[in-house]
Amino acid sequence: MRVRIPGLYIVLGLVLAGLIHIVAVLTLPMLAPKSAHARLATLGPANAMIELPAAAPGRQIMPLMAPDVRYAFCRFDLTNGPVRLKATVADELWLIALYTPEGENFYSVAGADMKRAEIDLVIAAADQTVEEAGVDAPESSDDVIVVNSPVTEGIALIRAPLAGPSRATGAERALRSTSCGPYTKSG
């Protein structure tokens, strides 16, 4: 004897399977043992620029790091006021990006989009201006980019792709000269 399954049960089964799949995909990042923010927190203090070693097989701090790119990051904390990031962008391949602790990108600028080699970025909480945070306005506001962050803690990441192996030393030198710290007028 053959058992017939009504079409409604098949449709309900597929809908239930789809809902379970969506819930599993959305909760997976929260169940991951270590987020990027947690991994980078072990490498140094907040509001300090840290250069990552060159990626090599079996020696990557973060997944999917390219061996022909040099990286530096700053875990910023805005609880005591704005943070200033200063960098000399060596070429138009560079990328500066700001992320929430969950990994959501809320600001990025490529070297090709900058009209100058020196970048001066002030990261402030979304609900305050630089002046409201208790510091004076930036020296020359035309040269300073103010980014309002939706979070009080996050990651500023600088990617410096190498245009060739001979440029590794220059890129690493430029990354070492970057700075990240509490905003001060003379900063």
Cβ neighbour number for residue 148 with a 10 Å cutoff: 16
Residue 24: pLDDT above 60? yes
**Total length of the chain:** 187
CA distances, 105 to each of 56, 151, 167 (Å): 26, 11, 28
pLDDT tier at 185, thresholds 50, 70, 90: low
The pTM of the full predicted model, rounded to 2 decimals, is 0.74
Q: Is residue 57's pLDDT more than 80?
A: yes
Q: Which two tokens stand for residue 109?
A: 């600028």
Number of C-beta neighbours around residue 125 at 10 A:
17
Structure tokens at 101: 């602790």
